[in-house]
Amino acid sequence: MRYSFTRPKPKQFMDSDTKIILVFLTVTILLTVGFVIFIMLKKGNFESDTLAMQKNIAKYRKENRIYKKEIKRIERLAQKFEAIQTKNTLLKESIQNLFDLVPDQITLTKAILNKNGLVLYGVTPSKDVYNYLLQAPLRSVFHRNDTTFYPLKNGWYRFVSINEGGIETGNGVDE
């Protein structure tokens, strides 16, 4: 016996609304899982990049310290160079002034400039010419002056003048 005028249709396991919801839910879950995996991979890359950068920073800091030491060393050398150059300039001027002190009547044959002072060898027409024209300026520069005269056959005198303690003749280089 039939109680209905329509034939029964087979019932579907899921209706179309449920299928749509399940598809969206599956896509959402897959996207979320994919995003989590992507974030985890990026996190791993970020951590390895961070370690690499920390190593680079340590290396650059070490190089920076080395370069700073090298800069300080070069600055010290530059200061020493300037000091030496200044002393050499002063020494050159002192020597030039010394030769400017020597009058035309006196001929120098040898001049030795050392740390202790100045030794001059030369020829003068007389002791008085030497004493008035060269000895007086030398006394104003040096603390101790000793001069020895040797007579020559032509009437002139050969002299050796040892002058100590006045001008600084060091070149600034450690020996």
Q: Where are the domains of the chain?
A: 18-101, 105-169
Q: 157, 126 in Cβ contact below 8 A? A: yes
pTM of the model: 0.47
Average pLDDT of the residues in 139-148: 85
What is the DSSP code (8-state) at residue 8?
P
Which residue, 93, 94, 119, 116, is CA-closest to 108? Answer: 119
How confident is the model over 116-139, as pLDDT tens digits?
788 889 999 988 888 888 888 888
Phi, psi for residue 122 in degrees, rounded to 5? -175, -170
For residue 11, is pLDDT > 90? no
The better pLDDT of the pair 165, 79 is held by 79
Query: From the CB of residue 66, how many other CB atoms can be counted at a distance below 10 Å?
Result: 10
Segment holding 150, helix H or strand E: strand 144-151
Count of C-beta atoms within a 10 Å radius of residue 148? 10
Q: Please write the tens of the pLDDT for every residue from 43-61.
A: 999 999 999 999 999 999 9
